[in-house]
């Protein structure tokens, strides 16, 4: 990276070590690292068999930060919160958090496009802060969001931050070689399908031709779609693999063929 004039040596070293790109979230002024580090794998008390212990989690976060991957997705719980509240009450409470300086921006997650539209309308009607992004289940094997949600987001300037962009790790390994604990867990939607096998096989084919990792092909598809994926990483090697996406530049033309493979469009059951 070209040295920036007048920066402290420590800041310049940090810039030189940066391995990732930074993109704007929708039409907001917020810039985030590409990709985003998913925090569901981190923790000291394993809930799922793939959770890292505290020491490994800290080492992973340090490695990610050192490489410039400084946007992390986390929550105080996953799945144990209330799914619905009165819209006006919710949006007013979120607006108050922004006004008090406790948060900078608001983002929505895992809802129908109609629900998001209602919440945005209520916020606009009352002069409250609106969402700038949506975090939903979206990947090569599950593309239900393309029906309504993605179109609504693009039309209204919201950023799209997909979770499980690698389909629980299944898009990162050849068929029959998925040995990770995460990839062996039951799919929350349905059993493994012939469409899944065809898509994963094509991802492997493109990866072999380009000399990329399969995960990089699957994420290049997200980049071509203009999304900012949230990726779980369980090792420093995975962090480097994701950071290496910048070296691939914008050469994503071959991944567009993946759009024409038959895929699944079934609603996520928790909505």
Q: Which residues are tagged catalytic?
A: 78
Q: CB neighbours (10 Å) of residue 117? A: 15
Q: In sequence order, what are the residues at sequence separation of 6 or more whose Cβ sits closer than 8 angstroms to the Cβ of residue 167?
A: 139, 140, 141, 142, 196, 218
Q: Is 138:165 a contact under the CB 8 Å cutoff?
A: yes
Residue with tokens 């390994």: 173
- What is the C-alpha separation between 194 and 216, in angstroms, rounded? 22
CB atoms closer than 10 angstroms to residue 161: 26
Number of H helices and number of E strands within the chain?
8, 8
Tell me the torsion sign for CA atoms 226, 233, 111, 139.
positive
Q: Which two tokens stand for residue 29?
A: 């002024």
On whether the CB atoms of residues 187 and 168 are closer than 8 A, the answer is: yes
């Amino acid at each position: 990276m070209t040295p920036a004039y007048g920066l402290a040596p420590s800041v310049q070293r940090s810039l030189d070590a940066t391995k990732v790109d930074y993109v704007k979230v929708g039409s907001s002024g917020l810039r985030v690292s590409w990709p985003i580090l998913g925090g569901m794998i981190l923790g000291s008390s394993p809930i799922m068999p793939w959770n890292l212990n505290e020491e490994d989690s800290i080492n992973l976060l340090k490695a990610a930060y050192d490489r410039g991957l400084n946007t992390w997705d986390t929550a105080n719980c996953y799945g144990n919160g209330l799914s619905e509240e009165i819209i006006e009450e919710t949006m007013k409470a979120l607006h108050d958090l922004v006004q008090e300086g406790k948060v900078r921006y608001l983002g929505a997650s895992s809802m129908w496009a109609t629900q998001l539209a209602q919440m945005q309308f209520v916020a606009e009607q009352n002069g409250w802060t609106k969402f700038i992004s949506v975090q939903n289940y979206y990947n090569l094997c599950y593309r239900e969001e393309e029906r309504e949600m993605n179109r609504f987001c693009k039309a209204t300037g919201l950023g799209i931050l997909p979770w499980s962009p690698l389909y629980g790790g299944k898009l990162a390994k050849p068929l029959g070689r998925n040995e990770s604990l995460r990839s062996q867990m039951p799919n929350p939607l349905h059993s493994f399908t012939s469409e899944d096998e065809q898509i994963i096989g094509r991802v492997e084919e493109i990866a072999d031709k380009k000399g990329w990792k399969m995960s990089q092909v699957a994420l290049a598809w997200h980049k071509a779609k203009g999304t900012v994926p949230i990726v779980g990483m369980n090792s420093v090697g995975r962090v480097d693999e994701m950071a290496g996406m910048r070296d691939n530049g914008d050469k994503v033309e071959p991944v567009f063929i993946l759009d024409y493979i038959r895929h699944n469009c079934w609603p996520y059951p928790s909505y």
